[in-house]
Amino acid sequence: MPSRSIEFESERQFHKLYCENPEHLLSIEKSLGVKIIARGNLLQMEGEGEPLDRAEEFFTLLQAAKEQGLVHGKFDFFRFLDQFNHKDIKELKELLSRPLRIQIRKKSVVPRNLSQRKFLDLILKNDLVFGIGPAGTGKTFLAMIVALHALLEGEIERIVLARPAVEAGEALGFLPGDLEEKLLPYLRPLYDAMDEVLGPVEARKLVETGVVEIAPLAYMRGRTLSKCFALLDEAQNTTRSQMMMFLTRLGEGSKMVVTGDLTQVDLPPKQESGLREAKRILHSVKGLHFHEFDNGDVVRHPLVSRIIAAYEDKDSEEKASRKKG
């Protein structure tokens, strides 16, 4: 049977490639249709022509992904294997051929897939970007990373975080505590991003000094946001007037990112999402960019993308059934 070998610099480097778990090699065998034999720092593959070519290419790309910080543990490994099997290989090659790394203090952040890479590119190069897609695609986290990097590099003077508090009906006065305490449950994902790269102490200091401002949409009317990075999260729950009001706050030297998931609208049934309307009305406006994520871009547990897909399939079936009825 035809065979090929890949020799690594050390046995340790080879074992780290498949997360030091022999079961992962068995998954590769089953997925790619080859037999894998590991001896020291030597990887031997046996199989037919095309499967052998794919297996060799897989390990070459996996090694590059590992070196760039795209693959850390079990979930990353299986996500990468799934991408290799179900996505265009050209996309993976493009992602790995143009490394993008954002450094904040000692933390390095790299896009985990090509969709994240494109989203980061858009934010870095443009003043107003929409990121639309399911939970777990990293859209909010990536936007916060760019915002924090711009702040620490002196490109902006402050960060403004906003999110519609639909669950509270924007009636924040009925909730106990000061404004920040009332908004905290709604802005927790944004705080989590700050905590991860800066640590909770520095993140808290930025909020207390007003460098990072927590702003409910209702409080932004009449303001001009200059020299700042404004992030509107959960934008699918904005109304038309709220969305228009937020977008028209953009001032000189500022950036805006709007993120949301159009499958998770919590507005009353007959009220159109401000994000959906913005997508329809503004798609051709020069200087403004929309980026859409899909289920395959989810970077949480591999089950998450399957769960999302299952619910979306069910929703599609029910819509089709209602139309027939």
Looking at 39, 64, 97, the residue that finishes a domain is 97
Q: CA-to-CA distance for 271 and 53, rounded, in angstroms?
A: 53
Same domain, 93 and 120: no
Residues 174 and 306 in one domain: yes
- Domain final residue, candidates 97, 125, 156: 97
| Spatial separation of the C-alpha atoms in residues 257 and 132, rounded to whole Å | 11
What string of DSSP letters covers 154-175? TS-SEEEEE---GGGTT-GGGS
User: CA-CA distance, 285 to 273, in Å (whole number)?
Assistant: 19
Residue 168: per-residue pLDDT: 40
What is the extent of the structural domain holding 279? 103-324
Whether residues 210 and 314 fall in one domain: yes
CA distances from 47 to 29, 53, 56, 217 (A): 10, 9, 11, 60
Same-domain pairing of 119 and 67: no
d(CA 161, CA 230): 6
Q: What is the pTM of this model?
A: 0.77
Q: What CATH number should be reported for the domain holding residue 42?
A: 3.30.1370.10
pLDDT in tens, the chain (325 residues): 788 888 888 888 887 877 677 888 899 999 999 999 888 888 899 988 898 999 999 988 888 888 887 777 777 788 788 888 877 788 778 778 877 889 888 888 888 887 898 999 999 999 999 999 998 899 999 999 999 999 999 999 999 998 887 644 444 444 445 555 666 666 677 788 888 888 889 988 998 899 998 877 877 888 889 999 999 999 999 999 999 999 999 999 999 999 999 999 989 888 999 999 999 999 999 999 999 998 878 876 667 767 777 877 777 777 777 666 6
pLDDT value of position 181: 64
7-to-17, 31, 36, 61, 70 alpha-carbon distances in Å: 12, 22, 13, 15, 22
